[in-house]
Every structure is written in C-alpha cells, then in structure tokens.
Amino acid sequence: MAEIVRMPKMSDTMTEGVMAKWHKKVGDKVKSGDVMAEVETDKATMDLESYWDGTVLYIGVEEGKAVPVDAIIAVVGKEGEDYKAALDAEGGAAPANVEPATDKKAETPVEEKKETSSAPALTDADLEKQGVTVVRMPLLSDTMTEGVIAEWHKKVGDKIKNDDILADVETDKATMEVMGYAEGTLLHIGVEKGQAAKVNGIIAIVGPEGTDISGILSQGDAPAKPAADGKSDAPVEEKSSSSSQKEETPVASGSTDRVKASPLAKKIAQEKGIDLSQVAGSADGGRIIKKDIENFKPAAKVVEAGVPAEKSAPVIPQYVGEERFTEKPVSQMRKVIAKRLAESLFTAPHFYLNISIDMDNAMAARTAINSVAPVKVSFNDIIIKAVAVALKQHPAVNSSWRGDKIRFNEHTNIGVAMAVEDGLLVPVVRFADGKSLSHISAEVKEYGQKAKAKKLQPADWEGSTFTVSNLGMFGIDEFTSIINSPDGAILSVGAIQQIPVVKNGAVVPGNVMKLSLGCDHRVVDGATGAAFLQTLKGLLEEPIRLLV
C-alpha cells in the first residue's frame, strides 16, 4: 500500500519548511532510515528520513519551494502502484506545477485552448495607437494606495493639450497636480470631485472627439498586460518623443501670478537651484515644462558703473545619483523571527530597567580564572552564571505567562542569543546555576560552532526560561531587546567602558558595564525586576560569591 510522506514539524516554532534538496527522485528505491531530502526550517537545515521501504512514486514539492507542516510532499510504495488513489484518499491532489511528466502533457492542449478561447483585452499602448489615452491615478508617493480628487480643472468636452493640468489629487502626503500627457478631447471623467480612486484606477480618458469608450470602461480599472513581443511600446515612445519636440513660442510666466510648472519641471529646478520665476514657459498659458528647465540659461547680471559687484555666493556642485536596490526572498528563519518577535512585542507589555555594574573585580577574577581554567572563560560566561544564580533567588523573574496561569520555573535554563548569517538563534544552557564557568564556556562555544554550521537540533534551542543578549563585543554601550517568548524577561548586556568614577570621594578610572532588563509586565513588576538587578549587580561586582 502506498504511504503518504508529509512535511514533519521539526521544531516547536515551525509552521512551514523549504525543500532545500531532494536526495531521491521518482523511481528510486528507498529503505527505512534513508535520507530522502534536506528541509530548511526556521532554525536549521535538517535531514528528512524515510520510515518505509519501497519506491518513490511521487514528489509533490520542487526544491526551493516552501510547504506548510503536514502537507503532502511525497508518496512511497510498491513499484507501479497507483499512488493517485492514495492522494485522493488523503484529499491532497498534487499541485499544478509539480505533476509528473505524464500528466503535464495531458494538460498542455487544455492550457492552450484556454489561452486562445478568450480575446485579449486592449492595453493602454494599443489604445494610444488609436489616439486614446487612459489617464490613471498615479503613484505619487511610496506609501500611497489611493488618491482623492480635490479639484477638476477640466470638464468633459474640453480640449486637452500636453502638460495641461487635469486635476489636483490629495494623497496621504500632500495635494499634487495630475497631468494627462495627452492631446485631444476629455471624453470621460471616472471619479467625481471629493471621491477616492485606487492607484492605477481610471480617472479620465482623452482622445479624438466622438470616440466610443464603452469597451474601455467595460475592461475595468486594471490595465491589460501588454503582449510579450515588446512591439507595442515602440509607437508610444515615438508619440511621446514627437510631442515633446513640438516647438511653441515661449511665453514668460508672469512674476505676479502663481508660477505654472509641471511637477517634473519643479523637481528638476529644485535640484539645479533654478528660480522658476526667471524661466520662460513654452507650454499652454506660459506653463513651464521639462525642456524649459533643461534649456534655461541664467541671464548675466549687469553691474552698474561705480557700484562694486556683490560677492557671489559659492556655487554648490550638483550631484545626481541613481536610486537602486535589490530584493531577496524572505528565508524561513527570518519569517519566524518576524512572526515571533512581533507577537512578543505586541502581546507582552514590555518595560525596561537599567543599571550600571562596576566590573573591576570581575575583570580581575576573569584573569585569575583563565590562568587555571581548561577553557577560556568570557565575560558573557560569567554573566550567564550570575544570572542563573540570581534567578534562583528571584523566581518571579524566572516565570512565564500561560494565559490563565503563571508558570514559576524552579530550574534555570538560560537562552544565549547568537547572531548567524541568516538571523538569530537562541540555544539554551540548561541548569546553568549548577554548572561551573568552564562547563558553561565549553557549552556556549560548542553551540556557537553548531549555529554557524546550521547543525543545531530542536533540543538545543527549546525550553529556555530566561534569555541573555550581549552586544558588548560590538562596542554597543547599551540597548534594549524584545523578550524571547514565552520567557518573562530578557537581559541586554552592553560593552565594558573605561570611564571616570567616584570611589572613596576621589575620581578614578573605572570599568563600567550597563545592563538593561526587559520585563513582561504581566508576570514581572518593577520592584521585582529591580530587586533581581540588585542581586545580579552584587554577584558581578563580587564574583567570588559565584563560587560559594
């Protein structure tokens, strides 16, 4: 009987997995224990083993694709067995893009028939060939989703020239002018004054007088996709270039009236430091357009005889940069980081307590410890140990919110935040209060190597009761962290700084480290967190107490 292989839940936070690599293909023999594939989870890349003997009959997920937990990814059974019956019984038909080769051939003519059965809609480029221009709501800011027509400057039947202002549009940032960039008659106004239109929605149509526009309106707001041959763009480019080459008699824009200029002309003028009142506009009504700014030459100032020339302001060279960016798919780890931290920040009411620690004694103790320790002990190892000991004295900080109850943990499992290439991992040092500094140091170093190699297992990162995040090695003085749910608190550790301090009434050099305790106010109150920090301060300033 064919066996269904599903995406397993490989960690407590996993909701989907990416099929990193298949080690078997359809037709291959597999035995129980064979590695069928590698799955990238939110924490690491892990092996997916087969629990059955047989032949791979079906693979439902391509490499690089993500599938939710418990989704069907493969079928294993006897060679030649009908796997489709097993899929139908599970109600999990194969995705359209991952069907076996034999099924793809059967679908090909159906797909072709579907494409040829419907007549292609006219694109905006096709309409411009007919002299018709569809004016759509432009994207006037990076956050704009819709615009409100504040004012129409033209009405149906009016003649429109290139660079005429059709309307004022109120966006989420400002009120801006919209031009038609077309010549002809205003045939249709799609949005009344005061009404909103989605970005790319039809707000007007310009074309030859008497043109039937019912077919255009029946297509809806969404612009039709142009043909893939790329030929439709050529006439549009020719039209726009020819229209921009039309010469009109320049008309000076009066200084007493509002300066009329296109938004693009205003932007270029601002970048070049040109006063628009000195520019003669060549468009209708003396309106200033792009070519007027590009062709503008400032007139030389006439210096009157006997009057010394004023010292000219320094000329600031203009630098024109290019905005560029790249986009990458969100990794599984980054997806879960975003989801978990957003849930923590917006669910748990955070508050923060800050304290400064005199690290002189800790620095001396570390030097002495490392002279005899089998492994090098770091300041972070000392902090982990001190935190674990302090938590035993303050169980309210070593707690978590469970909805209808609060869990007070009697064990101290300290999560240690570690930066990796794709994001952040938090392996757990278990029962840290009972371990020596050398033991903690060796364990943290091993976790660090596993994290970089993506070899951490679910047991390594599950079950923390408190988290320590240290950015001191990067020179960060102090910072705050988001609580690693379901923990009730997190400690942010800054760098040790050498600063002047007052000791015994004298100003002397001192080594100070700042700590910030982030607390979930549902389980930790201010006084409770403050008492914990006082205990932690005492342990770090007198580290000999950690050995008692």
Instruction: Check if 42 is active-site.
Output: no
107 pLDDT more than 70: no
* Banded model confidence at residue 83, pLDDT cuts 50, 70, 90: confident
Residue with token string 């492994």: 375
For residue 436, name the pLDDT band (cuts at 50, 70, 90): very high
User: What are the structure tokens assigned to 269, written together?
Assistant: 């003028």
What tokens does 166 get? 């059709």
Catalytic residue (choose from 23, 411, 439, 521): 521
What tens digit of pLDDT does each residue of 59-82 get? 988 888 888 988 898 888 888 888
Q: Is 292 left (phi over 0), alpha (psi -120 to 50) or beta?
A: alpha
- Candidates 12, 88, 477, 525; catalytic one: 525
Strand-pairing partners, residue 186, are 206
**8 Å CB contact between 507 and 542:** no
If one compares 489 and 117, the residue with the highest pLDDT of the two is: 489
Instruction: Express as a percent the part of the chain with pLDDT over 90.
Output: 38
| d(C-alpha 483, C-alpha 465), whole Å | 11
The overall longest dimension of the chain from CA atoms, in Å, is 108
Q: In this predicted model, which residue has the larger pLDDT, 305 or 431?
A: 431
Domains of the chain: 3-90 (2.40.50.100), 124-212 (2.40.50.100), 334-546 (3.30.559.10)
For residue 349, count CB atoms less than 10 angstroms from its CB and return exposed for 0-12, middle for 13-18, buried for 19 or more.
exposed
**Selection from 266-270, 322-326, 353-357 with the highest mean pLDDT:** 353-357
Residues 6+ away with beta carbon under 8 Å from 404: none
Nearest to 215 by CA among 127, 344, 156: 127
Phi and psi at 73, nearest 5°, equal -120, -20
Taking residues 134-156, report their average pLDDT: 85
Identify the pLDDT of residue 225: 55
Predicted confidence at residue 284, as pLDDT, reads 64
What is the residue whose two structure tokens read 């892990």?
Answer: 46
CB-CB contact of 19 with 74 (8 Å):
no
Is 415 within 8 Å of 481 (Cβ atoms)?
no
- pLDDT one-digit tens code per residue, 5-62: 888 887 777 788 888 889 998 989 988 888 889 888 877 788 888 888 889 888 988 8
So what's the pLDDT on residue 543?
94
Cβ–Cβ under 8 Å, residues 262 and 288: yes
Q: Is 411 a catalytic residue?
A: no
- pLDDT for 142 equals 67
What is d(CA 40, CA 29) in angstroms, rounded to the nearest whole number? Answer: 24
What pLDDT band is residue 439 in, cutting at 50, 70 and 90?
A: very high
Q: Write the single-letter amino acid at 23.
A: H
Name residue 340's amino acid. R
Tens-place pLDDT, residues 374-417: 999 999 999 999 999 999 999 999 999 999 999 999 999 999 99
Q: What is the pLDDT of residues 249-286, one digit of tens each?
A: 444 444 434 677 777 778 788 888 888 888 888 776 67
List the structure tokens of 8: 């397993």
Please give the pLDDT value at position 545. Answer: 92
The candidate with the shortest Cα–Cα distance to 34, out of 13, 65, 56, is 56
Which pLDDT belongs to residue 306? 52
Q: What pLDDT is attached to residue 124?
A: 65
Q: Is 153 helix (H, G, I), strand (E, B) or coil?
A: coil
Convert the pLDDT of each residue in 409-426 to its tens digit. Answer: 999 999 999 998 878 899
pLDDT at 228: 46
User: What pLDDT, on the 0 to 100 scale, is given for residue 493?
Assistant: 97
Confidence of residue 445 (pLDDT cuts 50, 70, 90): very high
Could you give the residue ranges of the DSSP H alpha helices within 305-424? 332-347, 360-370, 379-393
Pairing, β 466-470 against β 428-429 = unpaired
Per-residue model confidence as pLDDT tens digits over 171-229 = 877 788 888 778 889 999 989 999 998 888 899 999 898 888 887 887 776 665 555 44
Whether pLDDT at 116 is above 80: no
Name the region of 163 (left: φ>0; alpha: ψ -120 to 50; beta: rest): left
Task: Read off the pLDDT band of 110 (50, 70, 90).
Answer: very low
Contact 343, 485 (CB under 8 A): yes
Side chain identity at residue 439, one-letter code: H
Separation between Cα atoms, residue 198 and residue 247, nearest integer Å: 35
Task: Specify the pLDDT at position 113.
Answer: 39
Name the more confident of 500 and 547.
Answer: 500
311 pLDDT tier (thresholds 50, 70, 90)? low
Cα(416)–Cα(409) distance, rounded to whole angstroms? 18
**Average pLDDT value over all residues in the chain:** 82
Give the model confidence (pLDDT) of 326-353 as tens digits: 999 888 888 888 999 999 999 999 999 9
Q: Alpha-carbon Rg of the chain, whole angstroms?
A: 35
Q: What are 462's two structure tokens?
A: 């599950």
Q: How long a stretch of residues is the chain?
A: 548
Number of H helices, E strands in the chain: 13, 28
The per-residue pLDDT for 230 is 42
Residue 235, Cα to own-chain centre: how many angstroms? 38
- Categorize the per-residue pLDDT at 365 as very low, low, confident or very high, splitting at 50, 70 and 90: very high
